[in-house]
Structure 1
Amino acid sequence: MAGDKNEINTKTEGVLDASSPLYIHPSDYPKQLHVNDNLTDSSYVDWSQEILNFLFAKNKVGLIDGTLKKPYKTAIDFMAWMHADAMVKGWLITAMEKDNRSSVKYVSTSIWNDLLKRFCKQSAPRANGLKQSLATMRKDGSSISLYYTRLRSLWDEIHSVLRTPMHL
């Protein structure tokens, strides 16, 4: 129904506007890998930040954070939403190691919430390990610049781990 709150009015004469979160660029495909390392049991925090950055650049965060709701089957944007959802799901699954991939391949983009619940429990032990590394770090003949860089890296990682990434 035209004007429905769940409908995204981004079509002009049957063509999806490139600024729409439902727009799929011709060069996009589901098996693209957009992170440096696949999701493993110990890489969730870094992995999620890379994926969020990529999805933000692609204007697709709304598909995983719940702000872009699935339209009714009769809505004009239903198929566009389904295509965008499948693309995001493909990107997420491709960026996971095989064991994690097999456990989520049959769910929609709610994969994100499932992954958050599954991996955020590992943040506290990781933060503790990082704090221990920070407490035992020594300059050991390295330059002040290198020592500061290593300290800063630990501080940033601790901060990132303690503030669970984008709780959706």
Structure 2
Amino acid sequence: MAHGGGTHTCNGGGPQTRTVTAQETSEDDPILTDTKRFSVLDNTHISQDEARNLYFLAHSDHPNASLVPKIHIGGENYSSWKRSMMVSLLAKNKVKFVNGKLPQPDPDDNDYDAWCQCNSMVISWILHVVSTEIADSIMYLDDDAAIWSELHDRFHQNNGPRVFEVKSSMQVLTQGCNNVQTYFTRLKALWDLVKEFHPQHVCSCGAMKTIVEY
């Protein structure tokens, strides 16, 4: 007779053993069966449906969280700050709250309370990674998309003077005592700023392809 599914005795011989498979173990234990659906690194047991839900907030999401290491202080670091914030908001599935693609629902809508909660959470995240002066100027805006748009209109400097400033920095940049990797990293950061403030026009006539191939 088998005891616990491990060792059993046949009528014609001594004790025989068999290996209990993971499938058999999980079928006997409902806790193990439920745990198989999730990663061993996930202590909160977040399902895929919850992760895709725009209104989902994890246990680690709290109003005092600082999503990025940089504090937005003005036009000089707005582009890098915005890029860091977009990456963090994308990871938390909250980008649509700031780009205006998820507007506030009607008060009688089932999602109204959840939207207000997430909207307030994103506003708090933004207020914690901007300077005190900037935070005071956007404190009383109730929509995170309006705050995002306000910051963009005020600090996005897609103009000639800023491009000239960055290109001037590139001209005086030298390797000096730095190794090649450090020098290249600084140079590439300046090139990325040039592309951010002065994006290249998209060719629609096919002439650029001819030039490149030539």
Structure 1: distance between partners of 2:119 and 2:173? 44
Determine what percentage of the aligned residue pairs are the same residue: 27
- Within the candidate set 96, 102, 115, 2:151 is matched to 115
Structure 2 regions of 5+ residues with no counterpart? 1-48, 200-214
TM-superposed CA distance for 1:130, in Å, is: 1.1
1:90 equivalent in structure 2? 124
In structure 2, relative to structure 1, the CA distance for the partners of 1:148 and 1:26 (3 Å cut) is closer
Q: How does 1:41-120 map to 2 (within 5 A)?
A: 41=74, 42-107=76-141, 108-109=143-144, 110-120=146-156
TM-superposed CA distance for 1:140, in Å, is: 3.8
**2:58 is the counterpart of 1:25:** yes
Structure 1: distance between partners of 2:108 and 2:122? 22
Structure 2: distance between partners of 1:146 and 1:27? 35
Structure 2: distance between partners of 1:67 and 1:111? 14
Q: How big is each residue's C-alpha offset from its partner over 1:105-145, in whole Å with a ceiling of 9 and x where there is no partner?
A: 11121100000001013764332211001122334465444
Higher radius of gyration, 1 or 2: 2
Are the counterparts in 1 of residues 55 and 118 from structure 2 also a CA contact under 8 Å?
yes
Give RMSD over aligned pairs. Answer: 2.0
Which letter maps to 2:169?
A: S
Structure 1 regions of 5+ residues with no counterpart? 1-15, 164-168
**2:175 is the counterpart of 1:127:** no
Which letter maps to 1:21?
A: L
Structure number with higher relative contact order (C-alpha < 8 Å, ≥ 6 residues apart): 1
TM-score w.r.t. the length of structure 2 is 0.63
TM-superposed CA distance for 1:69, in Å, is: 1.6
Give 3-state SS (helix, strand or coil) of 1:70's partner.
Answer: coil
**2:67 is the counterpart of 1:34:** yes
Structure 1: distance between partners of 2:179 and 2:69? 28
Are the counterparts in 1 of residues 158 and 196 from structure 2 also a CA contact under 8 Å?
no
**2:184 is the counterpart of 1:151:** no
Range that drifts further, 27-36 or 153-162:
153-162
Structure 2: distance between partners of 1:66 and 1:146? 38
Provide the aligned length of Structure 1 versus Structure 2.
148
